[in-house]
Structure 1
């Protein structure tokens, strides 16, 4: 099970044609220690986890947003397990950990809903 160590709201961004809140998340996973999670507003004051992207950019070297290299890789597959039920539980757990960290839920509400 993936554990969220820290989460911080970064900005509003477009992802898969949806307006999302981009949240930088530090995890306990060696293969994806820092990821960007994209949340879109959903019904009932909830949020959909649209994508999880690993950011391999080294800001010491590549301090600007350079779209010419493959620094961002889709890590949504980290939630795919042998069984669909287990995968769904992992995704749901990750989503809730991020949303309940600090004031992430409030920042998403302010930035996406108004």
Structure 2
């Protein structure tokens, strides 16, 4: 799965963690659009907290409401191996593709700046 487009949507809180929501488009037919959540990490970069998929159809569910069940966390589905261990190489590759997309890292930094 390769990232074809990405844009930061907003700063938000996810499960009590201050983070940024990034809309990600991929070349994968099963997961063409995802939302990736990035929070601060101890190494002065960003941790990918979660990746979610929106199963709602925009023709029916036109209101962008991420509180309902159409948004499902697919982090494990995307990055776990058959033995239920995280494929860190694949996960880190996806994370870096998103963060390296033009303007993403800078926009996250701007939104996450508490000073």
Q: TM-score, normalised by structure 2?
A: 0.87
| Match in the other structure for 1:98 | 98
User: Once the 2 structures are TM-superposed, how far is the Cα of residue 67 of structure 1 from its aligned partner?
Assistant: 5.9
Structure 1 partner of 2:72? 73
Q: Deviations over 1:24-65 (max 9, x none)?
A: 001122221110000001123200000000012223332213
8 Å CA contact 1:12, 1:20 repeated in 2: yes
Q: Give the paired residue count.
A: 112
- Alpha carbons of structure 1 residues 61 and 98: separation in structure 2 relative to 1, 3 Å: same
What secondary structure does 2:38 align onto?
strand
Deviation at 1:73, TM superposition (A): 0.9
- 1:105 Cα deviation (Å)? 0.2
Aligned-residue Cα RMSD (Å) equals 1.9
- Residue of structure 1 equivalent to 2:23: 24
Segments of 5+ residues of structure 2 without an aligned counterpart are: none
